Amino acid sequence: MAETILQVEDLSVSFEKNGQRDMLVQNVSFQIEKNQCLGIVGESGSGKSITCKAILGLLRPPFHVTGKVSFLGRDLLLAEDTTLRKVRGSEIAMILQHPMTAFDPLEPIGKQMTESITLHKGISEKEALILSAASLEKLNIHQPMEVIQKYPHQVSGGMLQRVMIAIALVMEPAVIIADEPTTAVDAVNVATVVELFESLKKMRKTALVFVSHDLNVVARLSDQLVVMNEGSIVERGQVEEVLHHPQHPKAQQLVETRQALVNQFYRYVKRR
């Protein structure tokens, strides 16, 4: 029997402006089990990222969040700020799109890596640095100490992406939410990032939420698949099932687009 780690029930997010209420996410429910990957796909603006933010309690007014997010028995939506802060980054880690802008430009990478590690683990800067370096090494970065001393602008986007993953890994979180981690990465590096996540899945028994508008990438990684459109889940199921028998027109459209690209993609990956 698989162990449910994160359960989202009837999650709705609205945005209030000038007395008008816009529904951004409507009655979204899903659950993730240990050692599983849930893929969330949908067009830009379908509410994928907002859902991720809502799970971690990162939305503030004028956003309004209702529903239930149970994480290991706790409802995160009811949790206090201090409790949430301890969960963020240590039990549920996030990996974002746009790695180039995700770091403070005025601080070396290492300092930013250790900032959250020292906070969550209560260890010294030095120990955190050793952990960071070890984590980077696991992601095939051969000179971690060099990367640690560099500033974010001095390394590539793909490198920063790996730094983000390394930060997430150090804390050994129960859940990793990857919010469109391949969007900002060029075609050559998409394959690398996907491989990275694949090894991540094997390396740790973490539950992975993989958000993307790129069905190719999601299909390779996920066990379960959820298709979102205009704030609601329109299709869900095992990856193979959704890919081969899409029911909702939006899901069908996504799959059709994928068919056109998928052969090309695999040919490309094989060539590498």
The full 3-state SS of the chain, as one line of letters, equals CCCEEEEEEEEEEEEEECCEEEEEEEEEEEEEECCCEEEEEECCCCCHHHHHHHHCCCCCCCEEEEEEEEECCEECCCCCHHHHHHHECCCEEEECCCHHHCCCCCCCHHHHHHHHHHHHHCCCHHHHHHHHHHHHHHCCCCCHHHHHHCCHHHCCHHHHHHHHHHHHHHCCCCEEEEECCCCCCCHHHHHHHHHHHHHHHHHCCCEEEEEECCHHHHHHHCCEEEEEECCEEEEEEEHHHHHHCCCCHHHHHHHHHHHHHHHHHHHHHHHC
If the CB atoms of residues 182 and 229 are measured against another protein, the closer one turns out to be: 182
Half-sphere exposure of 221 (CA within 13 A, CB side): 34
If the CB atoms of residues 56 and 225 are measured against another protein, the closer one turns out to be: 56
If the CB atoms of residues 120 and 250 are measured against another protein, the closer one turns out to be: 120
Q: What is the smallest separation between the CB atom of 117 and another protein, expressed in angstroms?
A: 9
Site for another protein in 175-234 (CB under 8 A): none
If the CB atoms of residues 107 and 256 are measured against another protein, the closer one turns out to be: 107
Which region among 31-39, 93-101, 136-144, 202-210 touches another protein (by CB under 8 A)? Answer: 93-101
Q: Is 90 in the site for another protein (CB under 8 A)?
A: yes
| Binding footprint of another protein, residue count (CB under 8 A) | 29
**According to CB under 8 A, which one of 62, 75, 78, 101 is a site residue for another protein?**
101
The Cα 227–Cα 27 span in angstroms is 13
**According to CB under 8 A, which one of 11, 41, 94, 211 is a site residue for another protein?**
94
Q: Is 107 in the site for another protein (CB under 8 A)?
A: yes
**According to CB under 8 A, which one of 1, 106, 187, 260 is a site residue for another protein?**
106
The Cα 48–Cα 237 span in angstroms is 17
Site for another protein in 47-86 (CB under 8 A): 56, 58, 84-86
Q: Is 156 in the site for another protein (CB under 8 A)?
A: no
Q: What is the smallest separation between the CB atom of 85 and another protein, expressed in angstroms?
A: 5
Q: Is 162 in the site for another protein (CB under 8 A)?
A: no
Half-sphere exposure of 220 (CA within 13 A, CB side): 19
If the CB atoms of residues 5 and 219 are measured against another protein, the closer one turns out to be: 5
Q: Is 28 in the site for another protein (CB under 8 A)?
A: no
Q: Is 151 in the site for another protein (CB under 8 A)?
A: yes
Q: Is 115 in the site for another protein (CB under 8 A)?
A: yes
Q: Is 146 in the site for another protein (CB under 8 A)?
A: no
Stated length of the chain: 272
Binding site for another protein (CB under 8 A): 56, 58, 84-90, 93-94, 96, 98, 101-107, 115-116, 119-120, 151, 153-154, 164, 167
